[in-house]
């Protein structure tokens, strides 16, 4: 139990802002050692403890302003999915090639957790912790699922290689004994090999200058929106300063400007004073601005979390609404029920999702938009790239969560998406960390947290199509199917073993020399 929980903590330590990516394979090696040969129910328990050891510290930022109860309840619930994965991994641990099947089972667990309930919570997938690791290029072939798979597989194969080295089985050939070690080597070279896979190019590359504005917020926490006008004023002020720097030759003139999510929570379509301020900023900088705004819908009750293209001299000309709104924050599912458990439930909004692929046109550039946590969802980002986006913008508002690791975890997702789709990514946040990211996942510039800042970047626009973009969710479904089939085979094998005369009781740990699967 201690090893399983500690392994989960090691997986947490492998995630940004630390660059200890190599701890992830170590964590899965320990988990694989714990799960090998145990019953499914024990595998579920060990998997749940692994999940708790991982998710409780990873998601600690959730409890920053809503208290420990909602945070711990969420972690306990999400750990159930890791428990299910642990049960499946335990079942397949005696099959030939067990590390491969167990890694596929893990991907099935991530796929399930990323979809249910209420649209799922993809935060904390194993691949999202690898932006600094050598396996990152694998994302360009099979997206986050394949990156997660090779990360988990490296750890499980390492555990099996060590086990066979420490406890050789009589009659086992050297080739069979060395197979897991060879698998570890092949997994580690997967990243460099993936970087050599060519991409399909549909148009020549070109370069534009993009500015990201971080205006900062006057106060942290759930009530930062109480000073909505101050947030808008901050972003206008920083944009006007950039215009002065451009006029003085200290900065290049941007072709387009990205403001963060919630940069104008005063609806500029209904409030003339807010529209006047944004007009001034756009006219002075002389470039279209992507403005994060909260817009009231015609029903007078619901709202949309939107990104408006504000054209100089014209005003708003295009709009993208957030396509996947956040449960328990932007809206409250089963509102009467969940309101019974926390006073914070009443503060959840009435946001509704919008349509479309998440692409707007700015100064002739097709900009794919992933508003805040949308960057965690494979299908949303793929839709934008498939719809023609040549650069990705991630307008976010992380001020609610204060000085936590949340913003770095989100930045890591943007780095992985850059590699997955071969696109530059511009991250603009209200309070940091804003960043510019090249298509190979490198962060070229970033801001400090809770300080105004401007990033002006000569951004390369790619019209390429990676294998991951073409395949979309196919790798995930294939790996999930393989995991399900492996579990079914293991269950059938266990049942047959129970009825076979003289068979060992199912689930009993094998003694030395009894590894018939070897």
Joined tokens for residue 516: 């018939």
Q: How far apart are CA 402 and CA 419, in angstroms?
A: 28
Question: What's residue 181's pLDDT?
Answer: 65
Q: How far apart are CA 212 and CA 395, in angstroms?
A: 9
Q: How far apart are CA 432 and CA 409, in angstroms?
A: 12
| pLDDT(203) > 70 | yes
* Largest Cα span, the chain: 88
Q: Of the residues 75, 78, 322, 405, which is catalytic?
A: 322
pLDDT band at 39 (very low <50, low <70, confident <90, very high): very high
pLDDT band at 510 (very low <50, low <70, confident <90, very high): very low
Q: Of the residues 261, 330, 420, 476, which is catalytic?
A: 261
Q: Which of these, 311, 209, 310, lies nearest to 251 by C-alpha position?
A: 209
Alpha helix segments (H runs only) across 450-511: 467-471, 474-499
pLDDT band at 64 (very low <50, low <70, confident <90, very high): confident
CATH 3.60.110.10 positions along the chain are: 202-324+356-465
User: pLDDT tens-digit profile of 214-232?
Assistant: 999 876 544 544 577 889 9
Contact, 451 vs 218, CB < 8 A? no
| pLDDT(303) > 80 | yes
How many CA atoms are closer than 13 Å to the CA of 123, on its beta-carbon side? 28
Q: Is 261 considered catalytic here?
A: yes
Share the mean pLDDT of the chain.
89
Contact, 331 vs 352, CB < 8 A? yes
DSSP β-ladder status, 391-396 and 365-369:
parallel
Q: Is 420 considered catalytic here?
A: no
CATH 3.60.110.10 describes domain 202-324+356-465: yes
User: pLDDT tens-digit profile of 78-93?
Assistant: 999 999 999 999 999 9
Q: Of the residues 277, 330, 372, 476, which is catalytic?
A: 372
pLDDT band at 497 (very low <50, low <70, confident <90, very high): low
User: pLDDT tens-digit profile of 442-493?
Assistant: 999 999 998 999 999 999 999 999 999 999 999 999 999 999 999 999 999 8
Question: What's residue 164's pLDDT?
Answer: 80
pTM score > 0.85 for this model? yes
Question: What's residue 151's pLDDT?
Answer: 95
Q: How far apart are CA 428 and CA 454, in angstroms?
A: 9
Q: Which of these, 409, 454, 446, lies nearest to 425 by C-alpha position?
A: 446
Contact, 91 vs 487, CB < 8 A? yes
Contact, 341 vs 315, CB < 8 A? no
User: pLDDT tens-digit profile of 361-372?
Assistant: 999 999 999 999
Q: How many angstroms from the chain centroid is the CA of residue 190?
A: 21
Q: How far apart are CA 518 and CA 511, in angstroms?
A: 13
Q: Does the N-terminal peptide bond of residue 433 adopt cis geometry, omega within 30 degrees of 0?
A: yes
Q: Which of these, 433, 503, 505, 423, lies nearest to 464 by C-alpha position?
A: 423
Q: Is 75 considered catalytic here?
A: no
């Amino acid at each position: 139990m201690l090893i399983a929980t500690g392994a989960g903590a090691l997986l947490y330590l492998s995630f940004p802002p630390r660059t200890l990516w190599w701890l992830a394979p170590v964590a899965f090696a320990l988990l694989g050692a714990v799960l090998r040969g145990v019953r499914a129910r024990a595998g579920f328990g060990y998997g749940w403890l692994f999940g708790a050891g991982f998710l409780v510290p990873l998601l600690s930022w959730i409890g920053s302003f809503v208290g420990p109860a909602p945070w711990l309840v969420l972690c306990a619930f999400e750990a159930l999915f890791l428990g299910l994965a642990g049960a499946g991994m335990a079942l397949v641990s005696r099959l030939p090639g067990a590390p491969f099947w167990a890694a596929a089972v893990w991907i099935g667990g991530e796929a399930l957790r990323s979809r249910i309930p209420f649209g799922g919570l993809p935060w904390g997938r194993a691949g999202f912790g690898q932006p600094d690791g050598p396996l990152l290029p694998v994302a360009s072939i099979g997206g986050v699922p394949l990156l997660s798979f090779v990360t988990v597989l490296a750890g499980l194969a390492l555990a099996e290689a060590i086990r066979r080295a420490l406890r050789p089985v009589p009659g086992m050939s050297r080739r069979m004994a060395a197979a897991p070690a060879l698998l570890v080597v092949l997994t580690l070279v997967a990243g460099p090999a993936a970087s050599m896979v060519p991409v399909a190019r549909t148009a020549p590359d070109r370069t534009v200058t993009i500015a990201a504005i971080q205006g900062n917020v006057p106060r942290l926490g759930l009530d930062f929106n109480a000073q909505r006008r101050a947030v808008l004023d901050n972003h206008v002020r920083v944009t006007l300063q950039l215009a002065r720097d451009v006029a003085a030759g200290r900065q290049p003139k941007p072709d387009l400007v990205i403001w963060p999510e919630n940069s104008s929570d005063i609806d500029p379509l209904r409030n003339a004073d807010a529209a006047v301020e944004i007009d001034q900023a756009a006219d002075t900088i002389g470039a279209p601005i992507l403005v994060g705004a909260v817009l009231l819908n015609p029903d007078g009750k619901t709202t949309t979390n939107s990104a408006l293209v504000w054209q100089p001299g014209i005003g708003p000309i295009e709009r993208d609404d957030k396509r996947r709104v956040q449960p328990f924050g932007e809206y409250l599912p089963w509102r009467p029920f969940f309101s019974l458990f926390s006073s914070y439930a009443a503060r959840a909004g009435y946001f509704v999702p919008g349509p479309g692929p998440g692409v707007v046109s700015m100064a002739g550039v097709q900009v794919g938009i992933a508003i805040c946590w949308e960057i965690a969802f494979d299908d949303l980002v793929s839709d934008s790239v498939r719809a023609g986006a040549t650069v990705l913008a991630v307008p976010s508002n992380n001020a609610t969560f204060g000085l936590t690791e949340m913003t770095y975890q989100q930045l890591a997702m943007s780095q992985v998406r850059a590699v997955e789709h071969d696109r530059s990514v511009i991250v603009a946040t209200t309070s940091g960390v804003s960043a510019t990211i090249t298509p190979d996942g490198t962060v070229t510039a970033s801001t400090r947290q809770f300080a105004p800042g401007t990033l002006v970047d000569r951004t390369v626009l790619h019209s390429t199509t990676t294998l991951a973009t073409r395949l979309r969710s196919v790798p995930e479904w294939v790996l999930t199917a393989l995991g399900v089939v492996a579990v079914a085979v293991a269950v059938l094998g266990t049942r047959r073993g129970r009825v076979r005369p003289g068979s060992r009781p199912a689930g009993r740990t094998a003694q030395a020399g009894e590894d018939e699967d070897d």
